[in-house]
Amino acid sequence: MSDIPDARESRSRRAGGISAYAKIFGVPEQEVPAVFAARVGSTFAEEALHAAGGPAWSHPALTGRDRSIAIITALAGQGVSGDRLSTHLRLGRQHGLDEDALSALMTLLAGYIGYPRASLAMETIHRSFASGGQRDTAPVGRPLFAGSATPSWRGQTRMTVGSPTLSIASPSPAGS
């Protein structure tokens, strides 16, 4: 393979993307391609690595804090929460965003993205800080909790989170 400028640029963008996603995922750079491919498939992962290695992630006009605010805003606006948002909250904390700043951001955004989406993001923010600064997400590609909500009989919902089972009874219709 010749070392033409396009090939060098492609390798450079991929390397930059690996570096960016290593910070996002909190894993060593050498693990990023495999971890990312396991999460979204190899073709999508490679495309994302090249995109993340471009100027958007490295332009000097934006600080890491600026990027974190923009990404957290975009995720909240799309209704994304859970481990995807938590991953970027962890990175935002590393860039100097504290709970007060993120709470103010969600309060501001509520009027623009709607209270349901802002409150969903706020719940994830609250859980993130309630965990005492510990990583509150499962390793990339794994669910945050080892259980799932499953419908049960007679108007109850059973939610399994780890070991204990939490049953939430909803009112049964009259006469049942």
Rounded to whole angstroms, how far apart are CA atoms 53 and 114? 32
Answer whether 162's CB lies under 8 Å from 146's CB: yes
> What are the backbone angles phi and psi of residue 100, rounded to the nearest 5°?
-60, -45
Residue 61 has pLDDT above 80, yes or no: yes
Q: Read off the pLDDT band of 52 (50, 70, 90).
A: confident
Q: Kindly report, residue by residue over 73-93, the tens digit of the pLDDT.
A: 999 999 999 888 999 999 999
Q: Kindly report, residue by residue over 114-168, the tens digit of the pLDDT.
A: 999 999 999 999 998 987 655 444 333 333 333 333 333 334 333 333 333 333 4
Supply 47's token pair: 């495309």
> What are the backbone angles phi and psi of residue 135, rounded to the nearest 5°?
-65, 120
Rounded to whole angstroms, how far apart are CA atoms 114 and 157? 28
Supply 14's token pair: 């991929």
pTM of the model: 0.66
Higher pLDDT, 63 or 142: 63
Q: Read off the pLDDT band of 24 (50, 70, 90).
A: confident
The pLDDT value given to residue 26 = 87
The pLDDT value given to residue 94 = 92
